[in-house]
C-alpha cells in the first residue's frame, strides 16, 4: 500500500531583512534536543540572494537544481550547479543565491544550539554588486 508522509509545515517567504528578491523556505529537518542539526530547502527566484552573513557553526549547502553563485568575503564569485556541495566554514562571511537569469534551489544544512545562533545576518548585496560578481558561464 502506498504510504505518504504528509507535510504540515507551511512554506515561509524569506524575510526582506535576510534576503533580496523572492525566496521560499521549506523546513526539512528540525533539531530536537540533543540534536543541533537543521535542514531547509530554499528556492531563490532569478537574481535573489542572501544578505552577507555568517554561521557560527558553519553551513553546508547542496544544489539539486538551477544555477547559483556563492562568494566568500574577499574571494571571487563562484558558480554552483546541480550536484555541487559548498561548505562555508564557521564564522566565515559569505553569501549565496541564484544567478541573475536562473532559478536556484539549495538544501541548507545548519547547526545551532543554546550557545550558537544558526546565523548572524549582515549587510544586503546591491544589484550592481550581485551582477558584477556573476562569473562567466562554463
Ligand atoms: Mn550561508
pLDDT tens-digit profile of 19-66? 999 999 999 998 788 889 999 999 999 999 999 999 999 999 999 999
Q: Where are the domains of the chain?
A: 12-132
What is the secondary structure of 81-130 as a DSSP string?
Answer: -TT-EEEEPTT--EEEEE-TTS-EEEEEEEE-BTTB-S-EE-----HHHH
Q: How many percent of the chain have pLDDT more than 90? A: 78
If you compute the radius of gyration of the chain from its CA atoms, what whole number of angstroms results? 15
Query: pLDDT, tens digit, for every residue of 78-137?
Result: 999 999 999 999 999 999 999 999 999 999 999 999 999 999 999 999 988 887 766 655
* Interval between CA 6 and ligand 1 midpoint (Å): 28
Please identify which residue in the block is written with the cell numbers 531563490.
44
Yes or no: is domain 12-132 CATH 2.60.40.10? no
56: alpha, beta or left, given left = phi > 0 and alpha = psi -120 to 50? Answer: alpha
Read off the pTM: 0.90
Any idea what DSSP says for residue 131?
Answer: H
Ligand 1 centre and the CA of 94: distance in Å? Answer: 6
Amino acid at each position: 500500500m502506498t504510504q505518504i508522509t504528509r507535510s504540515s509545515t507551511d512554506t515561509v517567504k524569506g524575510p526582506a531583512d535576510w534576503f533580496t528578491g523572492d525566496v521560499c523556505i521549506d523546513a526539512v529537518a528540525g533539531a530536537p534536543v540533543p540534536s543541533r542539526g537543521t535542514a531547509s530547502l530554499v528556492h531563490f527566484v532569478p537574481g535573489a540572494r542572501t544578505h552577507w552573513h555568517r554561521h557560527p557553526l558553519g553551513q553546508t549547502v547542496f544544489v539539486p537544481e538551477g544555477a547559483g553563485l556563492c562568494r566568500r568575503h574577499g574571494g571571487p564569485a563562484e558558480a554552483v550547479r546541480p550536484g555541487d556541495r559548498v561548505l562555508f566554514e564557521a564564522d566565515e562571511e559569505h553569501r549565496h543565491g541564484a544567478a541573475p537569469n536562473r532559478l536556484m534551489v539549495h538544501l541548507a544544512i545548519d547547526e545551532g544550539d543554546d550557545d550558537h545562533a544558526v546565523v548572524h545576518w549582515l549587510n544586503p548585496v546591491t544589484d550592481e554588486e550581485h551582477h558584477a560578481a556573476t562569473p562567466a558561464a562554463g
